[in-house]
Structure 1
């Protein structure tokens, strides 16, 4: 039974690596068939059909010539419109970290991308102006210092407010505790008074005297005990 993995190879005594024929490298622009996805929303120029981002395609990829950024290669992709089979071409753009649509379609407007580009452009112009204008740089530093002082004041105010609220909360707790104690004392006194009244009523019998219609007669008033008293 032969080995599945050959670990040792035989080299004859007359082995000469220079005599081994080398394979010729093909054209650097050789295209490869790969599976890719649309990098952005686009609209076909031929049929006006929309192609949405992340839609999968069978594409051809090649190395873009005469396009270089920091010695890195750019790649070009060829796809077919799913509606009219027109060819659409785009390539990578390493400088901006995005893709460039070369032909066959038109990229849809992207508000977020445009806003980011405008913000980056504004920041670059501001940095250039600060580098060329020392007074402008001094004004910016002064404004930053002023904003920092204002922020410190706001933070201090918030801290003081939190401390006051914490103190007020403690005071409220004490007041509630005192009020509860006073209510408990009043309730105890009321219960003691009620118990005393009941005790007095129970120990002393209440008598009611019925008077006759005419005073001074033979029938004098007699005490009558009320049942249950």
Structure 2
């Protein structure tokens, strides 16, 4: 059996890592345009001669998000869909507003690591490792000015445990990190996941599964 030279193995690993994340731009910017008729990995590029300063402006963080919902929280994303100037830049940001007791429920970002900074209030945050570390929970209480990192793809959450509303901003290492909210995708799907699957997975009676699937699962994104 022949083995690849070490230099080739390192090169192959570097290429694999490079393609595991958003590609780096090959020009100053690559402002996106929407074309609903064609699907590509990313966004089509706007003619650079037609780009203006407005393409790099996002005004959606000027006002608090509406937290009058079951979760008492609201995520306002500024991903490439909302801010086309982010296209190919490998970064995005979100504003997260929390009323008293507000929860940003367990979720993942399949394409981005998240750095969270608390600007107001007190948050209990945490993430769960993969089974490489036996699904260990890492959790901390964050105060104004604190920063916490949620590694790419891992389930994480934020809960307002303070006596005032809270506000945080999350920067993510992808132009489109996306959200997968765990409870929503398990119990809110239409058509639903088979009750046979869920009763065995959660080791509960079918009545419990039926009850959970009948609930209104609010999406705060």
Which TM-score band applies after superposition, normalised by the shorter structure?
A: under 0.3
TM-score (norm 1): 0.18
Higher relative contact order, structure no. (Cα contacts within 8 Å, ≥ 6 residues apart): 2
Bigger Cα Rg: 1
Instruction: Give TM-score, length-normalised by structure 2.
Output: 0.18
Structure with greater helix percent: 1
